[in-house]
Amino acid sequence: MLPWWGWVLIGFGVWIIFTVIVDLTQRKHAIIRNFPLIGRLRYIFEGFGAPLRQYLFQGDLGERPFTRLQRTWVYRTAKGMNDTISFGTQIDQDAPGVIKFNPAPFPTLDLHANNEMAPVIIGAERKQPYKVSHIVNISGMSFGALSKNAVLALSKGAKLSGCYMSTGEGSLSPYHLEGGGDICYQLGPAKFGCRNPDHTLDKAKFKELAALPNVKMIEIKLAQGAKPGKGGVLPREKVTTEIARIRGIPMGEDCHSPNRHVEFSDVAGLMKFVNEVRDLADGKPVGIKCVLGGEDFVREIARYLRDNNDGPDFMQIDGAEGGTGAAPMSFADHIGISLQEALVITDNMLREYGVRDQIVIIGSGRIVTGAEAAIALGLGADLCLVARGFMFALGCIQALQCNTNHCPTGVATQSKWLMRGLDPTDKSARVANYAKALHKDVMAISRALGLQDPSEIGREHMSMIVEPGRRVALTEIYPSSMKAFRETRVLRRPATPAA
């Protein structure tokens, strides 16, 4: 009689012979066909490679798109832990492109400084202006790309910290509302939640959504940095019955948004649509989210604002470095202008046409720390939006699985099992802590520059390393195209009190 381990050995031998035969006869993988059995190791190692590199071999500055140092800062601030570092900077201080702030010899005394930033009023002249009191807010990530627990934690966190949250293009879910925070409703080209079958706007449904008290403003998405000119993609694995119902889409197939709105194809048409949407939203501010490819688009908008004294109330400028749930690599890598340059173009152009005070500029694109937000403000933004930073606050470990439904942290998945691990109550506190830490960091930087308010940070407070040992003032690298640069700057925040 053969002992049990004998049977195991025989079974193992049979499996090896069977696998070798399968490997030799299959035609899909050359390596496996040429090196039966052993060739399979390549695929196994490839699967483990990314996490092994991340945990064991990658240096603190080696990971992409965010370094471990950046992620750790978010994790620590989100947990309310000590957010200081010891021993000094790890960043190469001589690397070309590094931006440095010029510290004031006599910083603003903390005792004399404002504790709160001067609020930014969006749509000051509209029927229902929106007052934003938080420098950094939550950028659009749809329910669909994110799990319901993640959306709920973000909306609760927004309420706790006082920032606002964009819905992303997947429409408004009960989880956005449950947290009770302020919402910016995103109207993407697919018009999920308020669409006619031909992708035009279902005006009655939109009116209902826009009338909800939590919805403070509307953003018309033209593009996002990770895939300009390409509509959003939600892989079929992530389309649950609930998501299909909220979006008004079929189950069992990938959900693609059109790559632009069907209602307009030029700036005049866009402006007409903006006005129409604002009327439907009973005078709530309406803005656009876009990615620049040059100056022309902003020039046309600026000209329209000057000639008509009307137009969008805000522009979210998303840099090409922005994140996504799913995008083609060519689009993510090679289309669009990065945030830094795009902000300068937008700010300069609006000043050149004398309309800078009519529109609020919101910058987004790989901002995770206070210094990055302060740089965006200095380059021309009035406010910042952050997406992936808030994912880190929710526990994201940069596993790069958002497009697979296998996100191990339950943030970007619809798997009930995986999202079970994300406790919305615990994580909402982290979201709020992180939002507050960012705000505090930017306030502290403005004081270090001798200023009272973050809105005063300008290009004149920064310089860029252009080669080892040589630094050039940012005003030289990015000159303002307008003489009255300082004068218009103060108009950014209209003094008119708003509701």
| Residues of the shown chain interacting with ligand FMN in the complex, contacts defined by CB under 6 A | 139-142, 145, 168-170, 186, 221, 224-225, 232, 289, 318, 322-325, 364-367, 386-389, 402, 412
Among candidate residues 188, 187, 190, the one with its CA nearest the CA of residue 249: 190
Return the number of the residue (283 or 293) whose C-beta is nearest ligand FMN: 293
CB of 226 to ligand FMN, least distance (A): 6
Q: Smaller CB distance to ligand FMN: residue 238 or 489?
A: 238
Return the number of the residue (121 or 291) whose C-beta is nearest ligand FMN.
291
Q: How far is the CB of 316 from ligand FMN (least distance, A)?
A: 7
Q: Are 224 and 142 in contact (CB under 8 A)?
A: no
| The two structure tokens encoding residue 303 | 């000209």
158 vs 355, beta carbon nearer ligand FMN: 158
Q: Kindly tell me which of 32 and 158 has the beta carbon lying closer to ligand FMN.
A: 158
Nearer to ligand FMN, 324 or 346 (CB): 324
Distance between CA atoms of residues 461 and 474, nearest Å: 8
State the minimum distance, in angstroms, from the CB of residue 140 to ligand FMN.
Answer: 4
DSSP assignment of 142-185: -BTTB-HHHHHHHHHHHHHHT-EEE--TT---HHHHHT--EEEE
Q: Residue 432 is encoded by which pair of tokens? A: 């709020």
The least distance separating ligand FMN from the CB of residue 318, rounded to whole angstroms, comes to 4
What 3-state class would DSSP assign to 121?
strand
Nearer to ligand FMN among residue 271 and residue 326 (C-beta):
326
The two structure tokens encoding residue 182: 């302020």
- Residue in this structure with the two tokens 């009770």, named with its chain if needed: 180
CB of 323 to ligand FMN, least distance (A): 3
- For residue 291, the minimal CB distance to ligand FMN (Å) is 9
Q: Which two tokens stand for residue 420?
A: 């079970």
Smallest gap from Cβ 493 to ligand FMN, in A, equals 24
Q: Rounded to the nearest 5 degrees, what angle is found at the Cα of 139, between the Cα atoms of 242 and 302?
A: 125
261 token code pair? 């709105």
Strand partners of residue 286 = 218
Cβ atoms 347, 458 nearer than 8 A: no
- Runs of H (alpha helix) within 184-290: 203-210, 241-247, 267-280
